[in-house]
Amino acid sequence: MSPTDKPTAAKPFRRLLETGEIVLAPGAPDALTARLVEAAGFPAVYMTGFGATASRLGMPDIGLLSQTEMTEHARNMTRAVSIPVIADADTGYGGPSNIDRTVREYLQAGVAAIHLEDQAMPKRCGQTSGVRLVDATSGVKRLKCAVQARGSADLLVIGRTDALPVAGVAEAVRRARLYRDAGADLVFVDGVKRIKDLEAVAAAVEGPKVVSIVDGNETAALTAKDLQDLGFSLALYAVTALFTATRAVADALAHLRAAGTPEGGPPQHTYEEFSRIVGTDVHQDLDDRFGD
pLDDT digits (tens, 9 = 90+) for 79-111: 999 999 999 999 999 999 999 999 999 999 999
pLDDT in tens, 164-175: 999 999 999 999
Residue 211 inside a domain? The answer is yes
| pLDDT, tens digit (0-9, with 9 covering 90-100), for 16-71 | 999 999 999 999 999 999 999 999 999 999 999 999 999 999 999 999 999 999 99
Residue 268 forms part of a structural domain: no
What gap in Å lies between CA 43 and CA 62, rounded to an integer?
29
**Model pTM score:** 0.94
- Range of 59's domain? 10-246
Residue 191 lies in a domain: yes
CATH number of the domain at 175, please.
3.20.20.60
Does the residue 116 lie in any domain?
A: yes
CB 93 within 8 A of CB 71: no
Nearby residues of 142 by Cβ (< 8 Å), 6 or more positions away: 91, 92, 99, 116, 118, 134
Helices (H), 168-268: 169-181, 195-204, 224-230, 240-259
- Cα separation, 201 vs 261, whole angstroms: 51
The contacts of residue 225 (CB under 8 Å, 6+ apart) are none
Domain count, the chain: 1
